[in-house]
Copies of this chain bind each other. A is one copy, B any other.
Amino acid sequence: MPGSECPKLVVSTRNQHKLREIHAIMTDLDLELVGLDAFPHAPEVVEDRDTLEENASKKAEELFAYTSTATMADDTGLEVLALGGAPGVHSARYAGKDSDDAANRRFLLENLKGVDDRRAQFRTVIALALNSGTYHFEGTCRGRITEEERGDGGFGYDCIFVPDGYERTFAELSAEEKNSISHRGRALERFAGYLAVLLEQRNEGEPNE
């Protein structure tokens, strides 16, 4: 962010929807968000680490090295208490290397068959890579796994996860309701809070790295 006229932040995604979502949370910050579409030759980062933190850090750091611009990346997983935190960092490929969402959900419900303790949480970790180091921001949403799928909205595990304080699954909530309680929204607000301080220091002419 420092050293440029208008501070820029590279967001490690080619998904325009994700970019707009982040922009919406940070409209008050004087910051230009740049998606990976602006870097057509950026390396494809392999998410092969053991934790959400490490995957997010790896993505942010490799792209920071390539773009020489402050870079954020995130990783999200569903952590089921009775399964020792699984599927966690393996959420997208829980039922096998090329498994799809439906197969992953079936595998999870199978593994929880007869298990009374259905507590689980979605957890998002954002990593911000700067010259001064890499910083982490976490957001969680606690809830429980249902016995069967309910609702058409959302994706991934949304139709088998009921957040605390609700009776409906993530897939049955409106996008607005889901966003407002989501792990991802909370992690993004935390991230925005740190950026706000960096920008405030920058405007005061203080070094921020």
Q: Complex formed: what's the CA distance from A140 to B27 in Å?
A: 11
A200 touches B136 (CB 8 A): yes
B180 touches A190 (CB 8 A): no
Q: Which residues of B contact A181 (CB under 8 A)?
A: 180
Chain A, interface SS category: helix
Q: Complex formed: what's the CA distance from A194 to B191 in Å?
A: 8
Give A206's nearest chain B residue, CB to CB: B133
Q: Complex formed: what's the CA distance from A185 to B186 in Å?
A: 9
Number of copies of this chain that the complex holds: 2
A199 to chain B minimum Cβ distance, whole angstroms, is 11
B165 touches A176 (CB 8 A): yes
A195 to chain B minimum Cβ distance, whole angstroms, is 8
Over the window 187-198 of chain A, the binary record of Cβ atoms lying under 8 Å from chain B Cβ atoms (1 yes, 0 no) is 001111110110
A128 to chain B minimum Cβ distance, whole angstroms, is 9
Q: Which residues of B contact A138 (CB under 8 A)?
A: 28, 196
Besides A139-B189, A190-B196, A192-B193, 20 other A-B contacts (C-beta < 8 A): A28-B138, A28-B140, A135-B200, A136-B196, A137-B193, A137-B196, A138-B196, A165-B174, A165-B176, A180-B180, A180-B181, A186-B189, A189-B189, A189-B193, A190-B190, A191-B193, A193-B193, A194-B194, A194-B196, A194-B197
Task: Please give me the 5 A-B residue pairs with the lowest Cβ-Cβ distance, nearest first.
Answer: A190-B193, A193-B193, A189-B189, A165-B176, A180-B180
Could you give 30 example pairs across A and B, Cβ below 8 Å? A28-B138, A28-B140, A135-B197, A135-B200, A136-B196, A136-B200, A137-B193, A137-B196, A138-B196, A139-B189, A165-B174, A165-B176, A177-B177, A180-B180, A180-B181, A186-B189, A189-B189, A189-B190, A189-B193, A190-B190, A190-B192, A190-B193, A190-B196, A191-B193, A192-B193, A193-B193, A193-B194, A194-B194, A194-B196, A194-B197
